[in-house]
Amino acid sequence: MNNDKNVDKLKVIPLGGLGEFGMNCMAIRYKDDIIVIDAGLMFPEDELLGVDIVVPDITYLLENRAMVRGILLTHGHEDHIGGLPRILTELNVPVYGTEFTLTYVEGKLEEHKLLDGADLIEMVPGERFNIGPFNIQPIRVTHSLVDCVALAVRTPVGTIVHTGDFKIDLSSPDGKPFDLHSFAELGKEGVLLLLQDSTNCDRPGYTPGELAVRPRLDEIFSRAKRRLFFSCFSSSIHRIKLAMDLAHQHGRKVALIGRSMDNATEIAQDLGYINPPEGLLIHSGQIRDFPPEKVCVMISGTQGEPMSALSRAAVDNHKHAKIEAGDTVLLSSRVIPGNEKSIFSMIDHLYRRNAKVIYDDGASGLIHVSGHASQEELRLMINLLRPKFFVPVHGDYRHLTRHIEVATSTTIPERCILIEDGEVLELDANSATKTGKVTSGRVLIDSGSTSDVIEDIIIRDRKHLSEAGLVLAIISIDKMTGRQEGTAEIVTRGFAVNEEGMHAEARKIIQRTLETSSDEEKRDWMLIKEKIRADLKRYIQKNTGRRPMVMPVILEI
């Protein structure tokens, strides 16, 4: 007989996404079965020099690999699927997602040569299925991407609802509105725990539906005198479809430029989300075959990414996308925090081309709407589901805290609990308690690879080099006598000082260090290098106030 008091407890363990935006990954464990909701990445902050992507530390899953039954994906954005290649190289378990999400995943896994060994299983909104002791019900939600779901997970302890990213749009352009009815039914049945998207918890009111941008975009299409360059997130399938509809309505041909725009549109056409009229789409090489007022160029690069199509066009460095005086450039997107500098630099270049630039500057009329629920929608969901316990997910600490205030104002959850990455929340039918921590954190990936993991010390070295520069001391030593041959060569990079004076003194210090070292010390190259490094570092810091990275190199001759 098992006397473990916790054997029947349900454990909820966030491995990413609670305390930061991105890297969403949540483990749910009952006894010896674990399911994982989402496997996202995060794009690095500026101080993570040379790092391409950041993914969650999955040590906990690897330690319990025999228990992991599958990964369930709520939708196809990078912050929910981008960590999959890294995870599947270490933990090849079934991956569940909707049709559109899995199509995105296939492309990503193929790129990393992981598709052949992957077990991808489609889930259909409304159709329940079992994974071990868990009964999963995907529920249709609306977001800025298509084919998104929330997940109701029925367990022996009670039902957990994970909203994924959502907003409540009852007039979705694809005719697949937010499934309010299923959430209401769950509320009647009883919900133990609600895990709810925190992204817009500080915005009052309701988030407008996707069709709210149509009037302003229609006006822009009608007023554009010459070519119209339309840029939005390539995953915004509804926005791409709307732009194509408006182009057709205003007699413009559509050219697609940019790999991500091409890929997203191709997938959306294959799955029936976009059906452009025959003859509407033209090849990018045909743009100049039509009068400027008869062309709409849909182009990727709305966030000013350095090598994106729009950034290259802004500096007149794109083969087909030539932006000229009088052309209109519309950025139908929001400025993602952290990208301001690159976006406004790109906009400056567009103004230098004498283009008319329209972006989300708070002017009248919507050119972009968020894909995340605002406060009233969050309250509405809580009122529908009537959960016993509430945990905010997806956001920085301040968002999680603010979201708890919103949830508390409804007076419905018995208890609202703020947990962060790695913290274990244990639940039974009547209680929810934080009981400890598991290993969690960030894994830094270089070069977009799934294997080039960057250690913190490398980032520290890169930061040190970028701020203080490098001093390289190359010393030739006779391996027979242990004596220095000639004078040391001093090389500096990124270190602006009076080089001649410093170099001469540095050579003297190296010579003095060698002369005062014993024969035994001289036979230990590592020890000698460390002594030279310490003496040079002390001299440079004392005389210049700077702390460059000092690297002695000993050449045996």
Residues with a known catalytic role: 197, 372
Nearest-angstrom CA–CA distance, 509 and 402: 58
**318: annotated binding-site residue?**
no
Residue 238 assigned ligand-binding role: no
DSSP lists the bridge partners of residue 148 as: 141
The reply, when asked if residue 436 is annotated as ligand binding, is no
399 is in an annotated binding site: no
* DSSP β-ladder status, 134-141 and 281-282: unpaired
434 strand-pairing partners: 425
Q: Please tell me whether 52 is known to bind a ligand.
A: yes
Distance between CA atoms of residues 477 and 488, nearest Å: 10
Lookup: tokens for 41: 């990445």
Are the C-beta atoms of residues 448 and 43 closer than 8 Å to each other?
Answer: no
CB-based contact 240:274 (threshold 8 Å): yes
Q: Is 80 annotated as a binding residue?
A: yes
Residue 349 labelled as part of a binding site = no
The residue assigned the tokens 């391996």 is: 479
Residue 165 labelled as part of a binding site: yes
Residues composing the chain: 557
Q: Please write down the HEC assignment for all residues of 267-320.
A: HHHHCCCCCCCCCCEECHHHHHHCCHHHEEEEECCCCCCCCCHHHHHHCCCCCC
**Is 461 marked as a binding-site residue?**
no
Answer yes or no: is 181 a known binding residue.
Answer: no
Query: Would you say 370 is a known binding-site residue?
Result: yes
Q: How buried is 285 (Cβ within 10 angstroms: 0-12 exposed, 13-18 middle, 19+ buried)? A: exposed
Tell whether 77 is in a known binding site: yes
75 belongs to an annotated ligand binding site = yes
Q: What angle do CA 290, 294, 297 make, to 5 degrees?
A: 90
Strand ranges inside 198-252, DSSP E: 228-231
Q: Which residues are annotated as a binding site for Ca(2+)?
A: 50, 52, 446
Q: Which residues are annotated as a binding site for substrate?
A: 368-372
Q: Which residues are annotated as a binding site for Zn(2+)?
A: 75, 77, 79-80, 143, 165, 394
Q: Which residues are annotated as a binding site?
A: 50, 52, 75, 77, 79-80, 143, 165, 368-372, 394, 446
